[in-house]
């Protein structure tokens, strides 16, 4: 037992007995954690007039703009596994999910808010604290690249040993101009950004016997599952240049997200299989797995959008490849929402097969 004359709580949560300087690990308090988050979040700037530290954040609405708000869960065991995803990846993906929703509507990010529930041991052990630090390093790393400040949130201890995060993103867009799912018209051409199936292919690799720790020294581009890139610049360019009639981000997979766009727009879509851009990781999969990853694999966070045939669509926007993958046509009663056309002209119904909660098929990672 130590005789403690004075204690000094360091931000890392280690308490030192001043007379002996022996370590008594009491963990980190909620307050110290919030202070750590506050330090990492930087000073309020731009549209954030007041960030972490008060009861509410204060945001400035840019003149002539509307605010857009989106919220997304990141749940351990459902969206990530601590033994597969690195802490940086979990933080990155948490913010990327929200930013991708803003990208889909052509919005500019204004601020992020994070409600985070952590198991007690993450704050009571050095390893747990390191996990939390690295989680925020991943989150802030992505936020810094897009000038997004974490302006507030909530912190709680979770039950059941799970990490649960809920991110809220606020964005802005010129009034009346935000891209929507519902603007697609029969005759429009269908496009997508980047390549498809990479995130599903990397997940298969992470979960399989060939699982490798490939983190060190490799770039984010090598990890479509762990570090997806929200296509903010593309979405903003589509809005600014008036190129798209409808847009959605592919978080749940092409088949599922295209069905959403079709339903909201009241149209049918025809997708050409050979026109789909296949990610290099997915190209290494066996035929059936490849098709599944490209058509139904979620989490690529690429944009899927429609534009009139008359629009001369650039091959690249903001450095990101744009592929023409099909077209929207009139929806006839009793017909499928999406039809897949193969190389020889064969047509088949493309059922939504992507990520869906409460379907009984939602994956436990
Ligand atoms: P209150 O009890 O009034 O809701 P809190 O003590 O929960 O305030 O939070 C104090 C400050 O820290 C607030 O500005 C809040 O937005 C911020 N905050 C708390 N948890 C987080 C978090 N996980 N991420 C970012 N900011 C947070
Ligand atoms: Mg309060």
Question: What pLDDT shows up at residue 4?
Answer: 32
Which of 152, 156, 163 has most ligand 1 atoms within 8 Å of CB, for mutation? 152
User: How far apart are the C-alpha atoms of 148 and 98, rounded to whole Å?
Assistant: 11
How far does the centroid of ligand 1 lie from the alpha carbon of residue 10, in Å?
Answer: 20
Atom of ligand 1 at shortest distance to CA of 115?
A: 23
pLDDT at 220 over 70: yes
Does residue 202 surpass a pLDDT of 50?
yes
**Mean per-residue pLDDT for 116-130?**
93
- pLDDT tens-digit series, residues 297-330: 999 999 999 999 999 999 999 999 999 999 999 9
Find the angle CA(48)-CA(148)-CA(216) to the nearest 5 degrees.
150
Residue-level pLDDT at 276: 98
Give 222's pLDDT tier (boundaries 50, 70, 90): confident
pLDDT at position 67 is 98
The whole-number pLDDT of residue 6 equals: 33
Task: Find the ligand nearest to 149 CA.
Answer: 1
Burial class for 14, CB neighbours closer than 10 Å (0-12, 13-18, 19+): middle
> pLDDT band at residue 102, thresholds of 50, 70 and 90?
very high
Given a cut of 50, is residue 7 above it in pLDDT? no
In the structure, ligand 2 is a single-atom ion and the residues with CB under 5 Å from it are 55
Letter string b/e over residues 287-307, b meaning 16 or more CB atoms within 10 A of that residue's CB: eebbbbbbbbbbbbbbbbbbb
**Count of other CB atoms within 10 angstroms of residue 240:** 11
The residue-averaged pLDDT of 278-301 equals 95
From the CA atom positions of the chain, what is the Rg in Å?
A: 23
Reply yes or no on whether the pLDDT at 217 is more than 50: no
User: What's the mean pLDDT in 1-14?
Assistant: 34
Q: Using a 6 Å CB cutoff, which residues line ligand 1?
A: 34, 37, 52-55, 114, 116, 150, 152-155
The reported pLDDT for the residue numbered 26 is 63
For the whole model, what pTM was predicted?
0.90
Does residue 22 have a pLDDT over 80?
A: no
User: 178, 187, 194: which is closest to 246 by C-alpha?
Assistant: 178
Range scoring the smallest mean pLDDT among 21-25, 217-221, 233-237: 21-25
Taking the C-alpha atoms of residue 144 and residue 138, their distance in angstroms, rounded to an integer, is 10
Question: What's the 199 CA to ligand 2 centre distance in angstroms?
Answer: 39
pLDDT in tens, 35-85: 999 999 989 999 999 999 999 999 998 999 999 999 999 999 999 999 999
- Phi and psi at residue 138, to the nearest 5°: -65, -45
């Amino acid at each position: 037992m130590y005789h403690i004359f004075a204690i000094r709580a360091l931000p890392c949560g280690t308490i030192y007995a001043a007379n002996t300087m022996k370590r008594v690990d009491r963990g980190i308090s909620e307050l110290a954690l919030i202070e750590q988050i506050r330090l990492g979040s930087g000073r309020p700037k731009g549209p954030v007039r007041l960030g972490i530290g008060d009861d509410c954040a204060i945001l400035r609405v840019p003149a002539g703009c509307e605010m857009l708000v989106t919220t997304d869960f990141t749940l351990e065991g459902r969206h990530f596994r601590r033994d597969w995803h690195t802490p940086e990846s979990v933080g990155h993906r948490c913010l990327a999910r929200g930013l991708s929703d803003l990208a889909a509507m052509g919005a500019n990010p204004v601020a992020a808010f994070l409600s985070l529930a952590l198991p007690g041991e993450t704050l009571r052990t050095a390893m747990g604290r390191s996990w939390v630090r690295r989680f925020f390093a991943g989150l802030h790393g992505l936020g810094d690249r897009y000038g997004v400040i974490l302006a507030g949130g909530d912190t709680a201890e979770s039950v059941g040993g799970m990490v649960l995060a809920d991110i809220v993103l606020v964005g802005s867009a010129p009034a009346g101009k935000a891209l929507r799912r519902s603007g697609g018209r029969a005759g429009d051409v269908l496009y997508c950004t980047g390549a498809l199936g990479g995130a599903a292919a990397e997940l298969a690799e992470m979960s399989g016997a060939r699982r490798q720790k490939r983190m060190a020294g490799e770039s984010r581009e090598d990890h479509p599952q762990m570090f997806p890139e929200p296509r903010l610049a593309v979405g903003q360019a589509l809005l600014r240049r008036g190129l798209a009639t409808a847009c959605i981000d592919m978080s749940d997979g092409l088949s599922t997200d295209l069905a959403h766009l079709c339903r909201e727009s009241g149209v049918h879509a025809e997708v050409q299989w050979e026109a789909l851009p296949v990610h290099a990781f997915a190209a290494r999969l066996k035929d059936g797995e490849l098709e599944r990853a490209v058509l139904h694999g979620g989490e690529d966070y690429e944009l899927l959008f429609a534009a009139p045939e008359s629009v001369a669509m650039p091959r690249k926007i903001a450095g990101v490849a744009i592929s023409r993958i099909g077209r929207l046509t009139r929806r006839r009663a009793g017909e499928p929402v999406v039809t897949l056309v193969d190389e020889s002209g064969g047509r088949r119904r493309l059922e939504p097969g992507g990520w869906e909660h409460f379907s009984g098929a939602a994956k436990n990672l």
